[in-house]
Chain A
Amino acid sequence: MNPERSEERDGTPVGRRVFLGTLGLGALGVVAAPALQSGLEGFLGAVAGKDPTGLTGLLPNGGGFRYYSVAASVPRKDATDYRLTIDGLVDRPGTHTLAELRALPQTRLVKDVQCVTGWRVPGTPFEGVRLSHLLDMAGVRSTAKAIRFTCFDGTYTESLTLAQARRPDILVALRMQDKDISHDHGGPVRLYVAPMYFYKSAKWLSGITVTDRVEPGYWERLGYDVDAWVGRSNGRTDEPTS
């Protein structure tokens, strides 16, 4: 028999070892992920701050925001056609234009943003009207228990209990990173729920409805926690943001 042929058929099973080794490394990676991740995030965060190309932003957990939209396309709204509706269990339902919202007292908060998928953006300024102020203006009735938020992407919804909604660190935000909120970041107006995972901070906010019970929002019907406190929900242990 030809020696090369027998070599080809009966050599060392290195392929199997590489295959099993890859599987083993993958499993090890899952086990070691928390330690590896914090190390990498620290390193990439530092690099991303000095990276003019922006390429580090494309690396996993490379710092910066990621864009998630659940709708096929989102209409663009600006000062001419944006309206925020407040209705439900309130004494004075109504709408606010962008100019009216800008004329109300503004609050600026600088805190970390934590996404439930793992990325965190440190020290991000948000500025806008306290949700509690808008609720007080509308006059919340005694039977009210919760708030339902709707968005002009036509799909996304969110919810808060009334007690949560009255916290001073929850804004109807008009500015982010000291700029008017861009369309891709949910502008011109988005919700900003500082103490919770970022999916609570609904983009393209268009409606605030006061309700008598919590109606779980879009991702919450898909399995995410309704009370999404950073570090105390969704099985995660991140540092609280607010």
Chain B
Amino acid sequence: MSLRADAPAPPAARIRRFSRAERWVHRATAVLMGVCVVTAAVLYIPQLAVMVGRRELVVRIHECAGIALPVPVLLGLASRAFRADLRFLNRFGPHDRVWLWAALSRDKRRSSRPAGKFNAGQKVYAAWIAGAVLVMLGTGLMMWFTHLAPLMWRTSATFVHDWLALTIGVVLAGHVGMALGDPEARRGLRTGTVSREWAEREHPLWRP
């Protein structure tokens, strides 16, 4: 019956992918990032700015969310599972090179996309977004507390903050878009477990 085929695999066949702590780190980071993006849009897009006004309040919300953005990850460092996943994200093996070449040449065959717990794209994304968030934090602080740095730096910081914001917006849209296209990956972050079939298909080198 088709109902059975569509239903998630029985619990026994499900594999633990993320601990509770890791799921909360992701959730909190996603919410804070969402607040940053929405308030940034209000500050930046004239039509939205006209609708909302209240510039000082929007700026304050944006600043608070931005300052808080690294906090969930820092708290997550207390979790052994989170630290282990950071190590997976950091370390690139020969299979990651294969994956990246396949991605660059638009080769979508499963066999040319070997991946451990995280594929090379996810690893690059994680490292880049972590660096980008810190650059946004640094330039944001320079725009906020102008007396901390020579005044001329404010313009330079604004320039980097604006263009990097645009870049992050595009990359983040890609991140969300790919998640929307993969319900089982989302289920992994929502419930902590994924089906064995999905794990073997998407992350063949992962040994949970």
Contact = CB atoms under 8 A, between A and B. Distances in A.
Contacts of B174: none
A103 interface: no
Contacts, number: 161
Contacts of A235: 146, 150-152, 154
A154 B88 CA distance: 55
Nearest to B145: A223
Nearest to B155: A118
Interface string B65-104: 0000000000000000000000111111111100000000
B159 A36 contact: yes
A19 B127 contact: yes
Interface size class of B (residues with CB under 8 A): 35 or more
Contacts of B150: 235
Interface in A61-87: 61, 65-74
A31 B50 CA distance: 33
B134 A23 contact: yes
Nearest to A218: B56
Nearest to B165: A60
B26 interface: no
Given A20-B131, A235-B151, A26 B160 contact: yes
Contacts of A61: 159, 162
Given A11-B92, A31-B156, A69-B55, A5 B207 contact: yes
A18 B94 contact: no
Interface stretch (B5-13, B116-124, B181-189, B190-198): B116-124
Contacts of A117: 158
B49 A22 contact: no
A60 B126 CA distance: 25
Contacts of B116: 4, 7-8
Nearest to A26: B135
Nearest to B151: A235
A58 B95 CA distance: 40
B54 interface: yes
Given A9-B87, A22-B135, A235-B151, A14 B160 contact: no
B139 interface: yes
A72 B123 contact: no
Interface in B21-58: 44-46, 49-50, 53-56
A185 to B, nearest CB: 11
Contacts of B124: 14-15, 18
A72 B44 CA distance: 16
A72 B53 contact: yes
Contact of A11 (B96, B128, B135, B153): B96
A76 B3 CA distance: 58
B130 interface: yes
A139 interface: no
A147 to B, nearest CB: 24
B147 to A, nearest CB: 8
A8 B88 contact: yes
9 contacts: A9-B91, A30-B157, A37-B155, A65-B46, A68-B55, A70-B56, A74-B53, A222-B56, A236-B155
Given A22-B134, A60-B163, A61-B159, 14 more contacts: A4-B116, A8-B207, A12-B91, A14-B92, A15-B92, A18-B124, A19-B128, A19-B130, A22-B128, A26-B135, A30-B153, A30-B159, A66-B46, A71-B54
